[in-house]
Amino acid sequence: MDQKFLIPSSIILAGVVIALAVLYSKIPSAPSSTSDVKSAKTSDVFPGAEALRIRRDDFVLGSPAAKVAIIEYGDFQCPFCGRFFQTTEKEIIEKYVKTGKAAFLWRDFAFLGEESFRAAEAARCAGEQGKFWEYHDYLFNGQRGENEGAFSDQNLKRFAKELKLDESKFNSCFDSGKYRKAVEETSNTGRAVGVNGTPATFVNGQLISGAQPFAVFQKIIDEELKK
């Protein structure tokens, strides 16, 4: 074959390859997995929705499978949280949690000072012995002002003794500071979903700010139960 015909053929072949490469670069790439698509849709519907689902390390009253999830972000020193605990929370638990219609969750939003953090850590240590909620209630019943010593380390250990916890195990857990990071992380998660004060309560993702009366919660919970 005459060599002079090989050169134009090579040029033509190279041109075809370049053209195909340019065309392919303009085709949008497909998602790397179906999970990427699902994550995008969740984010579009409600940014932060994932954070407001029940997690394995949550402290839950009632059935996690209940139709309504009520999540309170609170500070054990907060007087408004104390008021909410003494009034609205008790009614919610009686009417909805004990009847299996709702689950009630506590999440730390420690922001009022060092005693807030230490109280939250102590409650988690009590949780290791299956008495988180008993300690939670004891703290709210023991509020005596903010950062005035009511939740000093000495008092927090005394509360554990009065609740008949294993003192050695509790003190070892508490003194180690093992839950400090967890309290900080949960507080940061609260900020990420819009919490800037306490109590901040989410009913199936709907935020109710402050110690609102039971009627406010009842209306929203009943609407969610009808869906």
When pLDDT is averaged across residues 33-52 and rounded to a whole number, the result is 39
When pLDDT is averaged across residues 211-216 and rounded to a whole number, the result is 96
Q: Which residue's structure tokens are 């919970």?
A: 221
Q: For residues 45 and 188, which has the higher predicted lDDT (pLDDT)?
A: 188
Q: Does the pLDDT of residue 138 top 80, yes or no?
A: yes
Q: Which residue's structure tokens are 């979903």?
A: 193
DSSP E strand stretches across the chain: 59-61, 68-74, 102-108, 200-203, 206-209
Looking at domain 49-226, its CATH superfamily turns out to be: Glutaredoxin (3.40.30.10)
Q: At what angle do helices 132-141 and 114-127 cross, to 10 degrees?
A: 150
Q: At what angle do helices 132-141 and 79-86 cross, to 10 degrees?
A: 110
When pLDDT is averaged across residues 60-76 and rounded to a whole number, the result is 95
Strands 200-203 and 68-74: antiparallel
Q: Does the pLDDT of residue 25 top 60, yes or no?
A: no
Question: Which of 62, 70, 60 has the alpha carbon at shortest distance from 98?
Answer: 62
Where along the chain do its domains lie? Answer: 49-226
Q: Does the pLDDT of residue 171 top 90, yes or no?
A: yes
The pLDDT of residue 48 is 53
DSSP category for residue 63 = -
Q: Does the pLDDT of residue 4 top 70, yes or no?
A: no
At residue 81 the predicted structure's pLDDT band, cuts being 50, 70 and 90, is: very high
The pLDDT of residue 49 is 58
Q: Does the pLDDT of residue 58 top 90, yes or no?
A: no
Note if the pTM is more than 0.95: no
